[in-house]
Structure formats: C-alpha cells, structure tokens
C-alpha cells in the first residue's frame, strides 16, 4: 500500500492549528488597516532573477535555498519558459516581489511612502529543523518611499504590537545599523583585515564567508567564533555622519514609543539589500538563529536595483510559524460547536433535516443537520457529542409547521414554529458566542 506523506520540511495545519493561523491573519489585517498599511498580493513565484538581484547571489537564501522551477510543460516544446530550466523560483520572502510590483505599477507616482502588507506562504529549501520549514508563513510589511527614521520606528513598533497581540510576552527588538554605500565598504575592509589576522582560528564556514560575504561572518552562531566576534570592529563605530544621525534619530523615536531595544552589533541580516537599520524580534531566553520571531530593516538601494528610480524603503517580516507556536500555547482555538443540530424521528428524512438546517444557516445560525439515516436516539447522541446547545427535533408536528426545540444542556424542550426557529436560535447563538471569548488585539 502506498502511503503518502507531506513533503519533508512542510506540515499540515490541522483545524485547531489552522484556526489559530487564521486568527493571526485577522490580527495582521486589523493592525495593518489601523496603521494604514494596505493589502497587496503578489505571485508565489517570480523570475529567479528578481530574487538573485534583490537578495544577492552570495546569500544562503539564493545560493542554497531557492526552490527553482521550470516553466509550464518542463521539456522542449512545452509552454512558456520550457527549455529554460529553472527560470522561475518560488518566493523565499516577499520584499523582492513587493518592490518589483512597486516599480512595475509605477507606485512612485502615488503619495509616498506607499505602505503595503501581505500575509502568506514562503518557500526555502532549508535543512528542516525546529522552527525551520521549507514552506512557512510570513506577515510582511513594507513602507516604500520615506527615508526615515520616523517611519522605521513606526514599522518596528507595528511588528512589536502584532507579536504582543498574538500572545508573545517580553519581546525585545535587537537593533543595529549596518551603514550604507558611503561607509560600509571601509568598514568591511577593516573587518576583513581583522578576520584575516585570526583566520587560522576561523571555522571552515566562516573562512568561506570571509571570501564571499564577510559581513555574514558576524551573525554566525558558532560558539567557537564568539570570542573572536566579541573583539571584532563594530559597524556602529564606523558609520558615516549621515548614517549615525539616522541611527540616533531612530533610537530617539523608539524611546518615545517605549519600544524595548537592545544593541545587537552582530545583526547583519541574511539578505544583501539592507542599508542602515537592521533589526530582529526575539523573546528572551531563546537567542538562537531559529528563534528570531521576525526581522527586517531598511533597503534604500533596492528599488533602483530592480529598475526603479532611487527610492528608500523599510520593512519587516514576522515568521508566523514561530508566532503560531506561541499563540497556540497562550490561546488555543476554541472548539466550534454548532448552536443547533437538526435531527428527526424518521431516519430516512434527510432532505427535510438538511432543508431546515440550510434555512437556519441562511439566516446566520451555526446549524448542522444529521445526514445519516440512523435512529433518533443515535442522532441525539451525535448532537450532544458535537457540543451543540440545541437539537431541533423533526417529528409528526411538522405537519402543523412545528418542531421540538430541545435545550440539550438544560434538558428542557418546547414546541416552536419552524418559521420562528432562526429568531429563537439567534438569541441563543449570541450568548453562546459571548461565552467562547474572542481573539485579542
């Protein structure tokens, strides 16, 4: 017997988990709207070159983790893109695609900044481990067209508000500035000189990165590197005047908003498009790479890199799978029981049970019908097992336009006109919902 499984690194979100995911989606939509970030949906795949250009060819995300796909048909003579192996790639993140859309749709002509948010799955061919999946969800938020630093603070505070609303306690923002084209090259040269001096003590991966992407050596979690990195020159000490002023301004704004910030000189982020602001959200006690609940920063060169006019931008993405784990623990999904189940004395009369339930649903009542041709006793047992508050019992009284409305919790029952059922149950449904609690923001 063949037994299929979800692909390695992916998982099924079963109803209790999916319900919490949707709750987070609702929270993201509500907060996005409140802060003026408008929804945008971009494709799940793009030309691979969009990611190669935006994220950088010497990053793990592009070098090792891109899910490359061919066009329709695959082989020669197929569809568009055939014979052009791996021309496309599943999106590993949303920023590149959002900026591509900003340029493509001429959003430079709109009032700036353009504030955009999206919620959806991303794909990275990563080595699966705790908190790391090959398909994962992000809430991605961008403000394009404002040099900051006030908008950087707005964005950082928004991410924090979401995480708190989702149930994460004690979230800290780890903050750094990684300079810009004016000051970073000189800093990188200083860093490389320092690392060359200790090269014989560097692990193999760090030595390889020293050659291709020296800044990335800084955010290694290898304990062997810790003492070397502690003494490494810091970008924050090598910022040009403009970057230093920006960084100081951002700190002032964050202090004014009472955002808890921690200096994180080693945060450089894994994507090449960042300039100046770089930040990650952490919950205390879990500081490993996998435990960042999200991260982001400024990308003042990205719009130009993707063919637009020079335009600054800043944003973040939250790792929703990691937030989901917290939210599930803090506030598990309420089990959704129907208010009423329509049952009947005649096992075969499924049509009338379904008809009554359909009319109740049309009137806004969470109603179910027992559609199995089984005895009334079994149907009532089923209704109780589902946690329904009421059973609507269809019997001989239907000839007179009436049914029995049985309160399964109180154990009482009375005759009700079918025409009045929805109204009777609506009142009960309101109190039912009230007792369940609602997601907090």
126 in contact with ligand HAM (CB under 6 A) = yes
Q: Which two tokens stand for residue 131?
A: 């908190």
Stretch that binds ligand HAM, among 75-83, 136-144, 355-363, 371-379 (CB under 6 A): 136-144
Stretch that binds ligand HAM, among 126-134, 160-168, 337-345, 356-364 (CB under 6 A): 126-134
95 in contact with ligand HAM (CB under 6 A) = yes
Q: Which is nearer to ligand HAM, 132 or 234 (CB)?
A: 132
Stretch that binds ligand HAM, among 77-85, 135-143, 333-341, 359-367 (CB under 6 A): 135-143
Q: Which is nearer to ligand HAM, 214 or 296 (CB)?
A: 296
165 in contact with ligand HAM (CB under 6 A) = no
> How far apart are the C-alpha atoms of 171 and 279, rounded to whole Å?
13
Q: Which is nearer to ligand HAM, 47 or 420 (CB)?
A: 47
| Residue the block writes with tokens 């208010």 | 339
* Inter-helix orientation angle 204-212/184-197, to 10°: 150
Question: Helix, strand, or coil here: 188?
Answer: helix
> How far apart are the C-alpha atoms of 96 and 272, rounded to whole Å?
11
> How far apart are the C-alpha atoms of 318 and 139, rounded to whole Å?
5
* Inter-helix orientation angle 320-330/15-35, to 10°: 110
Q: Which is nearer to ligand HAM, 126 or 304 (CB)?
A: 126
Give min distance, CB of 140 to ligand HAM, in A: 6
Stretch that binds ligand HAM, among 23-31, 38-46, 132-140, 418-426 (CB under 6 A): 132-140
> How far apart are the C-alpha atoms of 356 and 337, rounded to whole Å?
18
DSSP 190-211: HHHHHHHHTGGGS-HHHHHHHH
Residues 254-283 that bind ligand HAM (CB under 6 A): 270-271
Q: Residue 354 to residues 22, 148, 176, 429: CA-CA distances in angstroms?
A: 28, 58, 60, 19
Contacts of 178 (CB under 8 A, 6+ apart): 184, 215, 235, 267, 268, 269, 274, 275, 276, 278, 297
Length of the chain: 441
Binding mask 31-70 for ligand HAM (x = CB under 6 A): ----------------------------------------
Which residue of 319, 338, 344, 439 would you call a contact of ligand HAM, by CB under 6 A?
319
Residues paired with residue 123 on neighbouring β-strands, in sequence order = 135
Stretch that binds ligand HAM, among 15-23, 91-99, 330-338, 423-431 (CB under 6 A): 91-99
Residues engaged in binding ligand HAM (CB under 6 A)? 93-95, 124, 126, 131-133, 136, 138, 140, 142, 270-271, 292-297, 299, 315-317, 319, 321-322
């Amino acid at each position: 017997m063949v037994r299929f499984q979800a692909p390695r690194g992916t998982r099924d979100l079963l109803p209790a988990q999916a319900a919490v995911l949707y709750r987070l989606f609702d929270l993201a939509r509500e907060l996005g709207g409140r802060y003026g970030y408008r929804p945008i949906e971009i494709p799940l795949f793009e030309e691979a070159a969009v990611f190669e250009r935006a994220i950088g060819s010497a990053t793990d995300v592009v070098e090792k983790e891109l899910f490359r796909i061919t066009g329709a048909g695959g082989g020669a003579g197929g569809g568009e893109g055939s014979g052009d192996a791996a021309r496309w790639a599943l999106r590993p993140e949303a920023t590149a695609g959002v900026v591509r859309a900003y340029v493509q749709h001429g959003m430079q002509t709109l009032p700036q900044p353009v504030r955009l948010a999206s919620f959806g799955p991303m794909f990275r061919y990563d080595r699966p481990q705790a908190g790391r999946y090959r398909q994962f969800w992000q809430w991605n938020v961008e403000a394009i067209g404002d040099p900051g630093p006030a908008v950087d603070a707005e964005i950082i505070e928004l991410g924090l508000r979401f995480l708190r609303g989702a149930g994460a306690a004690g979230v800290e923002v780890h903050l750094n500035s990684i300079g810009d084209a004016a000051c970073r090259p000189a800093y990188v040269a200083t860093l490389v000189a320092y690392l060359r001096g200790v090269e014989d003590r560097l692990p193999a991966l760090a030595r390889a990165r020293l050659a291709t992407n020296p800044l990335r050596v800084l955010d290694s979690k290898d304990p062997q590197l810790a003492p070397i990195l502690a003494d490494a020159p810091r970008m924050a000490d090598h910022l040009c005047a403009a970057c230093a002023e920006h960084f100081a301004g951002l700190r002032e704004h964050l202090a004014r908003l009472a955002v808890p910030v921690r200096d994180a000189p080693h945060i450089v982020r894994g994507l090449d498009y960042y300039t100046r602001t770089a930040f990650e959200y952490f919950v205390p006690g879990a500081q490993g790479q996998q435990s960042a609940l999200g991260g982001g920063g400024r990308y003042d060169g990205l719009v130009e890199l993707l063919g637009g006019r020079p335009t600054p931008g800043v944003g973040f993405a939250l790792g929703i799978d990691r937030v989901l784990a917290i939210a599930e623990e803090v506030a598990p999904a309420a089990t959704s029981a129907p208010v009423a189940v329509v049952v009947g004395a005649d096992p075969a009369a499924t049509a009338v049970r379904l008809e009554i339930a359909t009319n109740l649903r049309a009137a806004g009542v969470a109603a179910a019908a027992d559609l199995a041709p089984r005895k009334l006793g079994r149907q009532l047992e089923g209704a109780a097992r589902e946690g329904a508050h009421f059973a609507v019992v269809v019997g001989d009284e239907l000839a007179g336009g009436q049914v029995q409305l049985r309160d399964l919790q109180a154990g009482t029952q009375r005759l009700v006109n079918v025409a009045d059922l929805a109204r009777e149950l609506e009142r009960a449904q309101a109190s039912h919902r009230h007792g369940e609690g609602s997601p907090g923001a």
